[in-house]
Amino acid sequence: MSDDRLFKQRPLWMDAVAVALLMTATFKIMANATISPALPALEASFADVPGADYLVRFLVSAPSLTVVLVAPIAGLIADRHGRGPLLIAGVTLFAIAGSAGAYLPDLNSILVSRLLLGVAVAMTMTAQVSLVGDLFTGERRSSFLGWQTATVNFSGFIFIGFAGYLAGLSPRLPFLIYAIPILLLPLLVSIGHREKHAGEGVGGVPASSTEVTPNQRWVIQALMVAALAMTTVSLFFLMPSQLPFYLDRSGFESASATAVALGTLTLVGGCVALIFKRVCSRLGLALTLSVGYLVMGGGFVALAVEATWVFILAGAALIGAGYAFVQPGFLLLALKVAPPERRGTVSGFVTTGMFLGQVISPIVMTPFLQIEGFGAVFFGVALVLMLLAVLSLLPAFLRLEKKSGAI
């Protein structure tokens, strides 16, 4: 057996390219959340700037805005000029734009750097998802996506915890965390070679033998997956965006209670994501998505029942576990409907859908919460998730899964 064959059979954690791709997947949580612990001190340091209270808060969500606008364009570039070069350029821009907040002189220039950070996230996320489709097939692809969800969840603890420590020293220091990805560049240089041979599949098996080329309706299917991603993320985003207010109104000390609840969600989600491949191989993609939506729905029902620690922690755990099946599920579905030469475009659609879900979630949900209250909204969200669970089992969805080849 050749050395190349042995290399391709290595576990994901021993594959340098796979590790680099897993690390770049963490950018989507790193982009927004890393500076959160520094916001109060940043606001105080720019107290003399008109509108500083609003502008400082907007620093968190600014990258999501440009991701929504740029991701479709990045997808077209990935298809035309290659995913590897786009990923390397995105990682470089991410490190430069992200760390710029540590030394830029004023709040407006920091805001511009945050918008550029969103451009970098759009480039890296689009290229990364496309490369997952190019370089991995079958069960290895579903295994990678499960590991990816786990990596994103666990990395949130590391980045936010480290940022909290640095913010205690200076509100500018957390921005330096964004420079860490520059260390990935040596691992990414080998992607060009792997990308050229992506047509060989994984383990020496031609991709054409394990996957059926999608039909000409791929644009409609890709937009449907993007809409599914947007809806799912907008509902899931109730947790980080609205849970603190729910806990505060329920008589809890919101900061510590939110940390415990979201920590439970993240840890449980990270652990459950590690078994995604096993579950998906046994149940199939459609049923795995359906189970994920049902479990998420059960979590929101638990939150709606009563604001006690038992129901709060149970709800957070169920939502995290369900989302650990759903997120890699719709990414896997996106790669199934995408023709190989259009994976960048489809990845751009789905990336836009995911970040658009983050943007619209507070805009759409807050009025309902103000009118109906948290309990009613949580029950309503649970019903929508259960509807998605049913839709995941529709005959058309099942036919799509069968035509797309093995999971």
162 vs 235: CA distance, rounded Å: 28
**Residue in 325, 317, 304 with CA at minimum distance from that of residue 389:** 325
| Start-to-end Cα distance in the chain | 26
> CA 219 from chain center: how many Å?
22
User: Which of the four pLDDT bands, split at 50, 70 and 90, describes residue 258?
Assistant: confident
198 vs 78: CA distance, rounded Å: 14
User: Which of the four pLDDT bands, split at 50, 70 and 90, describes residue 213?
Assistant: very low
Question: 191 Cβ partners below 8 Å, 6+ apart?
Answer: 17, 20, 83, 84, 87, 88, 131
What count of residues does the chain have? 407
Q: Give me the phi and psi of 275, to 5 degrees please.
A: -105, 10
391 vs 32: CA distance, rounded Å: 31
Neighbours of 193 (CB within 10 A): 10
- Asked if the model's pLDDT at residue 334 lies above 70, the reply is yes
Question: 163 Cβ partners below 8 Å, 6+ apart?
Answer: 33, 34, 35, 36, 37, 38, 174, 177
Pick the range with the lowest mean pLDDT from 2-16, 220-234, 307-321, 328-342.
2-16
The answer to whether the CB of 91 falls within 8 A of the CB of 182 is yes
Tokens standing for 311?
Answer: 């129901």
Q: Where are the beta strands (DSSP E) in 153-274?
A: none
Section 343-358 average pLDDT: 91
The answer to whether the CB of 348 falls within 8 A of the CB of 71 is yes
- CA distances (Å), 267 to each of 82, 209, 343, in order? 35, 37, 31
pLDDT (tens digit, 9 = 90+) per residue, 54-82? 788 788 888 989 999 999 999 999 988 88
Q: What is the pLDDT of residue 193?
A: 61
Section 219-243 average pLDDT: 90
404 vs 241: CA distance, rounded Å: 36
SS3 call for 40: helix
Q: How many Cα atoms occupy the beta-carbon half-sphere of 239 within 13 Å?
A: 26
SS3 call for 393: coil
Section 270-280 average pLDDT: 91
Higher pLDDT, 157 or 367: 367
Task: Specify the DSSP class assigned to residue 212.
Answer: P
Tokens standing for 126?
Answer: 């689009």
- CA distances (Å), 261 to each of 239, 243, 314, 387, in order? 9, 9, 9, 26
Q: Give me the phi and psi of 29, to 5 degrees please.
A: -90, -30
| Share of residues in the chain with pLDDT > 70 (%) | 87
Pick the range with the lowest mean pLDDT from 178-182, 210-214, 386-390.
210-214
Q: What is the pLDDT of residue 91?
A: 94
- Asked if the model's pLDDT at residue 312 lies above 50, the reply is yes
